[in-house]
Amino acid sequence: MGNPYQSMRVTVTRIEDVTPQIKRFTMALPEGGPMPGFSGGGHVIVQMEDSGQRYSNAYSLMNSPEDRSCYQIGVRREERSKGGSAFLHDKVRAGDTLTITTPNNLFGLRAEARRHVLIAGGIGITPFMSQLHELRRRGADYELHYAFRSPEHGAFRDELAAAPDSGRLRFYADSLGQKLDLGALLGRLQDGAHVYVCGPQPLIEAVQDAAAAHGVPRERVHWEQFAAAPQGGGAFSVVLAKSGRTVEVASGETILKAIERENAASVDCLCREGVCGTCETRILEGEAQHCDQYLSDAEKAAQKTMMICVSRARGQRIVLDL
């Protein structure tokens, strides 16, 4: 446990309209100099404040990891924005200063993979932009499949099509009847190949299902989605061991929100989406229904800790080290 991030101030040096809903932000250190290093698939968390409201959103880094002069992120304005994407789209201008975290990576390329199959949907193309730079540099064996609604929503498509490895890239515009056949793709997956998917939840689930149907081992399928898991399930009780208090968590409510509502304990959490790891809390009794992307499968099975910003109790009661 512990916070792997440090905060840093950056200047927004450029903002580009990529599609009607997506902008690319380029950021650099105000004093110049190299940015902290990162690897393909890495992300930062942008911390924002607007009229007393605070927002923290995770965004994949898109530029080459070898380019330390700046960071680039792609931001889609969400239709049901919690505030962060709307703030970036509507209120941030070139020359403004933002607070971001140092990079972390939960979606890195696997060293043991003999081939890398990348599957992107919509804004889910962003982590693959930096991974492609890394794969080219390694001389790795890879292919990218990128699906989007229509040509005007294919963010960075022209940029990718002009790249020297464009022969390894495939594009699918739904409005043109171009469909990504996951069954055919994963049915011919070679031994030693790893699959990476980022995009809407239905795409991630479709890849998981197709991989399972074709016998692709779970450890060779990797995914990332910077969005809080839907809060389903019934109400349950959380006992805070240090104070002895019991907090009732309603159906559709997170443990973190319930604790904050009752002012029952002080908990750090940067992302509120299960990706940063800052709210990791020890489980003393009971089991968690894990909904985060931070813990590994082995850590989730061990039931030692949980991310209280998204994960829930598996049962009527759980005791936490708070």
DSSP string, 15-77: EEE-SSSEEEEEEE-TT-SPPPP--TT-EEEEEEEETTEEEEEEEE--S-TT-TT-EEEEEE-
In the prediction, which pLDDT does 273 show? 84
Which domains does the chain carry?
Answer: 7-101 (2.40.30.10), 115-224 (3.40.50.80), 236-320 (3.10.20.30)
In the prediction, which pLDDT does 229 show? 57
pTM: 0.87
In the prediction, which pLDDT does 213 show? 97
Candidates 96, 205, 300, 282; CA nearest to 308 is 282
In the prediction, which pLDDT does 230 show? 56
In the prediction, which pLDDT does 131 show? 98
Question: For residue range 79-128, what is the model confidence (pLDDT) as tens digits?
Answer: 776 778 999 999 999 999 999 999 999 999 999 999 999 999 999 999 99
Number of residues that this document lists for the chain: 322
In the prediction, which pLDDT does 45 show? 94
Q: How far is CA 85 from the centre of its chain?
A: 14
Q: Which parts of the chain have pLDDT scores under 50?
A: none
CA dist 54 and 270 (Å) reads 10
Token readout for 118 is 């990348």
With DSSP H G I counted as helix, E B as strand and the rest as coil, what are the percentages for the chain, rounded to 5?
A: 25, 30, 45
Give the C-alpha distances (Å, rounded to integers) separating 157 from 116, 120, 171: 19, 12, 8
Question: Contact at 8 Å (CB) between 115 and 42?
Answer: no
In the prediction, which pLDDT does 3 show? 62
The side-by-side arrangement of strands in the sheet containing 221-224 is: 169-173, 142-148, 115-121, 193-198, 221-224
